[in-house]
Chains A and B, each alone.
Chain A
Amino acid sequence: MVTTIGMGLATDRLDVDVVDGFAGMDMVREFAVSGVPTVVLDDRLSLENPSPDGSLLDFVLHAADRSRPAPAVATVPFMGCGRLPS
């Protein structure tokens, strides 16, 4: 979580919301979050329990530029709520 916070502070190109899962249950349901921490990018890409290594940055770079390959770690479309990748 602190790595993502640092990423959000470092640039105005990445808007970071830290969501208390208990307070934001509507969002937890909407994005089918089943464990914490989970990072959801642009409402469509989800990464559970991200480690503060390069995969988190790769994940953000992939979200900003879909021509970049998805990192090997989980990039799971939210098929359950219709948010399929374009």
Chain B
Amino acid sequence: MELGRGPASFFDDVDRSYVVAQLEGRMDAPVELTVTARRSSPLAITPAAGAEEAARAERLARELAALEPRIGVTVTGEGAGDVPALTVASRASAGSVRFVGVPRVNLFRALLEAVRRASTGDHGLPPGWAEALHALPQAVHARVFATPT
């Protein structure tokens, strides 16, 4: 890395245009992106496991926030594992969704969709589903396995 220069941007111009097209004028309430990642000092000789992906996750969240003023970013190392995670939450939605791993390609599109849905409270569910979910007798943990392509 050259001294005095920050890390390369996560987004290129095409990505930025895509993000703006997906979110501009399509959000209501602010959305909080919480990055849970194991941070590592750039002075460390041996970075912590997953530090590079953790830095990418944080950069992605901060670049999203730079493009859309209704997105806020919090970074925490509490509970972080080797794989970074991004949690999407908004006061417009009762629940939240966590992306495990840096979301790329299709998963990045899903992240933007989650941001938009969280912000608007329009979750795109068939009639009656939200009521059924609110009435669950106990909490359920769902893992959705997907790939970027």
Contacts and interface: CB of A to CB of B under 8 A. Distances in A.
Given A9-B88, A18-B114, 9 more contacts: A7-B142, A10-B130, A12-B139, A17-B97, A17-B100, A18-B110, A36-B145, A41-B142, A57-B129
Contact size class for B?
Answer: 35 or more
Interface string A28-66: 100101001111111100000000001001001101110
Contact of B97 (A8, A22, A28, A60): A8
Interface string A6-28: 11111111111111111110011
Chain A contact residues, majority secondary structure: mixed
A7 B140 CA distance: 11
B28 interface: no
Contact of B136 (A4, A6, A14): A14
B57 to A, nearest CB: 10
Given A2-B110, A27-B143, A65 B137 contact: yes
Contacts of A4: 142, 144
Interface string B93-113: 111111111111001001001
B139 A17 contact: no
Interface residues of A, number: 43
Nearest to B141: A15
For the complex of A and B, the 10 pairs showing the least CB-CB separation, nearest first, are A23-B101, A20-B101, A6-B123, A11-B133, A13-B136, A64-B136, A9-B93, A10-B130, A10-B123, A8-B97
A19 B143 contact: yes
A9 B102 contact: no
Which residue, B93, B114, B126, B133, has most C-beta atoms of chain A within 10 A? B133
